[in-house]
Structure 1
Amino acid sequence: MDAILPFLHNLTDPDWLVAHGGLYLLLFIIFAETGILVGFFLPGDPILFIAGIIIANMKIDPTQQLPTLLYWITLICVAAIIGNFVGYWSGKYFGHRLLKMKDNFIFKKQYIYKAQEFYERQGGAAIILARFLPIVRTFAPIVAGIVGMNFRKFAMYNIIGAILWVVSLVTLGYLLGENAWVQQNLEYVILGIVLLATAPVIIKALLGKRQPIKSSIAKEKAY
């Protein structure tokens, strides 16, 4: 834990990210957070916003900024899409083993149960909405694989969700990246971005009618 907290703090520092891998590190983080079980704690939303800030402050020809922005967005979208595909296939082929694992610091079965509840409430659109919810976005594709969601349907929602998530946050970071106030108050801005990204989904979940859920995953717990 003592090592993780400083690492997470460094991930919100654009200069640190540039010095320790830049785009390659960003791609790995997005891939890991959206597809690898142990990546749920990584800060995907702040990373995307900071990616935009990095591009806005690059010392390059102004005519190259837009192509660079599009290049980064494309690669990050690909990383997010591949990450969810990995999560889906992990759930499809190893889901039952995951449900038999004992809870530990890295993995807790309640994350999967919560992701499935969200998935069953929202239907296929949950794959899109989950992109804007920390932790849920890691486990939603795994749940989709476990419950056997149609792969073509999953692929469509996966691609749409990745594009909406990446384009919105990276572009926002790019547009605000050169603002002095934003640079001086980056931690507060990042917190605000996370709240804004998750608020619509959380409000919808809280205001929606609660219906009984017959969870096929939860039934595994009884065996």
Structure 2
Amino acid sequence: MLLVVLAVIVIGSSVPLLGIVIAAEPIMVGVILATNHQLFVPGLLAVAVGAAVIGDIVSYWLGRALGPRLLKTKLVRRSRKHIDGAHRRVQRRGALGAMLIQRWVPPARGFVPSFLGTVRHPFGRFVGYSVLASSLWAFVFVLGTHFGGPTLILAIPTVATLVIATQLLRRGFIALRGRRDRRLAATT
């Protein structure tokens, strides 16, 4: 019964808007720690991966069914630059990169699969990307909590923050260098 509830939570955390209020990671960590590591780890991994993939598939089909209509609404038309920016980021990173990243960002988790459904990304390839991203995510959280305990899991947000900060700094330096190069080119 506990694994069924956990599966429902993981699926819910993968659906747009529900993912904003449901975070599966703290619940998974709590379940593993509260059961004193008595859960069958392969079963827990299978449930976490399977539920994450099912949640991504639900989000994909929501995007495919509702996305085109939502793109025509007044609210979305006002946010066009954000949507276009998200589209460029997915194109730049590729669908696999976007799926890997979205799995680690709980509030936005369901939006990448929805977006890929809206743009009619090939479903078979999408499922493969989802299995890869979900497997990596589940293995890190389940095995990390099981073998490393809460200390290891608390390190994940720190590492993720450092990676994001490094990327932002790199982009800032590239932008500054580009601006300087344009100024130099304009003066010569």
Residue of structure 2 equivalent to 1:120: 91
Aligned partners of 1:91 and 1:143 also within 8 Å: yes
Residue of structure 1 equivalent to 2:181: none
Aligned partners of 1:35 and 1:85 also within 8 Å: no
* 1:58-96 C-alpha deviation (Å, 9 max, x unpaired): 3xxxxxx6xx10011101110000100010111011002
Q: Which amino acid aligns with 1:126?
A: A
Residue of structure 2 equivalent to 1:32: 12
Q: Name the % identity.
A: 26
**Stretches of 4+ moved more than 6 A in 1?**
none
Secondary structure at the residue paired with 2:106? coil
* 1:179-212 C-alpha deviation (Å, 9 max, x unpaired): xxx4xxx8xx7654333345435643653567xx
Paired residues, number: 168
Q: Determine the C-alpha separation between the residues in 2 that align with 1:132 and 1:48.
A: 14
Secondary structure at the residue paired with 1:135? helix
Aligned partners of 1:130 and 1:136 also within 8 Å: yes
TM-score by length of 1: 0.62
Residue of structure 2 equivalent to 1:207: 170
Residue of structure 1 equivalent to 2:125: 153
Q: CA deviation at 1:43?
A: 1.7
CA RMSD after TM alignment? 3.1
Secondary structure at the residue paired with 1:148? coil
**Structure of greater Rg:** 2
Consecutive unaligned residues in structure 2, runs of 5 or more:
176-188
Q: Which one has a larger percent helix, Structure 1 or Structure 2?
A: 2
Residue of structure 1 equivalent to 2:28: 48
TM-score by length of 2: 0.73
Structure 2 residue 52 is matched with structure 1 residue 80: yes
Residue of structure 2 equivalent to 1:106: none
